[in-house]
Amino acid sequence: MKSVILPKVGDEFLTYLRIEKGYSVATLSAYERDLRLFCAEQDDILSATPNSVKRFIARLNQKGLAASSISRVLSCLRSFYRYAIREGWCTVNPAAVIRNPKGKSRLPKTLDVDQVNYLLDVEPKTPLEKRDRAMFEVMYSSGTRLQELVGIDIKDVDLNEGLVHVIGKGNKARFAPIGRAANKAIHDWLATRGPFEMSDPLFTTLKGKRLSPRSVQTRLKRYGVKELGSSSLHPHMLRHSFATHLLESSGDLRAVQELLGHENISTTQVYTHLDSGYLAKVYERAHPRAKRQP
């Protein structure tokens, strides 16, 4: 394999994404990996042509890379060349004309309302169980992402207003609502954990350290096995359930988009996988020519 040292423009591009665009560490790591793979197959990345990109994508496909991962690679290359053109490094975006591969449409897995109630109505007995229920209540009540959840500090929570301030993707801040059950669960956890500063993390280990995303995943999976008999429960499933249940009740896609912190409503539209019976009721209630005559 050829050297995978990034050219100067590649390093500058990643710095731009980190500082100006506020990309997450995970996204930056993936983009850097994608750029290095592409650079390894090019004599000069700034002289690449659409055919160069097509051949590269074809090889990734032959290696069995998932359609979603190939789409991310293309997104990285398009962004890179837009930046390079803006900075005067090149004049053509060879990835702009390459279409994303068609992948299998996968609907997010969700819990039904009864399952959520069964999971969250278990009365906690130990401090750790109180912490865990508070975490799970916040995720389901506000639709927060896992990374957003572990980043919450005590000062970010307003129990009087029922709001929590979270930092989402791209360092974008928003206020997410927390319902009565989540409010009470947080109150019970704070009353259990002992003295704290407002700048402390909301969810911590028993030693007071901020809880890691992996720890949250492990605890939720354990709860899923114990209470639901399923080992497939994960934090994002609570976010999916929040969005689906809210959309089923309200039908307001735009509001759900804002609550989830989605930049584009097309991302939120995946939650419109509602059952036909519900859609029929909405149609009958809302469409002027659908209302039945008495």
Q: Where are the domains of the chain?
A: 8-86, 113-279
Mean pLDDT of the chain: 84
Amino acid at 279: L
Is residue 273 predicted with pLDDT exceeding 70?
no
**Tell me, which fold does domain 8-86 have in CATH?**
DNA polymerase; domain 1 (1.10.150)
Q: Output the CA torsion 138→253→26→171 (10° steps).
A: -80
Is residue 153 classed as helix, strand or coil in its secondary structure?
strand
271 confidence band (pLDDT: 50, 70, 90): low
The 10s digit of each residue's pLDDT in 89-124 is 999 999 988 888 876 555 557 788 888 888 888 889
- Is the Cβ–Cβ distance between 103 and 67 less than 8 Å? yes
Please give the average per-residue pLDDT across 266-289, as a whole number. 56
**Of 197 and 257, which is predicted with more confidence?**
197
Please give the average per-residue pLDDT across 255-275, as a whole number. 64
The 10s digit of each residue's pLDDT in 135-153 is 999 999 888 989 999 999 9
Q: Which of 77, 1, 66, 64 is nearest to 33 (CA)?
A: 77
- Is the Cβ–Cβ distance between 270 and 142 less than 8 Å? no
CA 283 to chain CA centroid, nearest Å: 31
Q: Which CATH superfamily is domain 113-279 in?
A: Intergrase catalytic core (1.10.443.10)
pTM value is 0.60
**Tokens representing residue 131 in the block:** 């912490």
132 confidence band (pLDDT: 50, 70, 90): very high
22 confidence band (pLDDT: 50, 70, 90): confident
Question: Range with the lowest mean pLDDT among 52-56, 80-84, 108-112, 163-167?
Answer: 108-112
Beta bridge partners of 165: 175
pLDDT at 182: 92
Q: How far apart are CA 169 and CA 162, in angstroms?
A: 22
Q: Of all residues in the chain, what percent carry a pLDDT higher than 90?
A: 40
**Of 273 and 114, which is predicted with more confidence?**
114
Residues catalogued as catalytic:
145, 169, 236, 239, 262, 271
How many residues appear in the chain?
Answer: 294
pLDDT at 13: 92
Q: Output the CA torsion 137→142→148→151 (10° steps).
A: -60
Is residue 41 predicted with pLDDT exceeding 70?
yes
Q: Which of 146, 151, 148, 154 is nearest to 168 (CA)?
A: 148
DSSP state of 207: T
- Is the Cβ–Cβ distance between 40 and 61 less than 8 Å? no
Q: How far apart are CA 225 and CA 232, in angstroms?
A: 8
Is residue 264 predicted with pLDDT exceeding 90?
no
Please give the average per-residue pLDDT across 203-230, as a whole number. 90
Is residue 207 predicted with pLDDT exceeding 90?
no
Is residue 206 predicted with pLDDT exceeding 70?
yes
Q: How far apart are CA 282 and CA 258, in angstroms?
A: 22
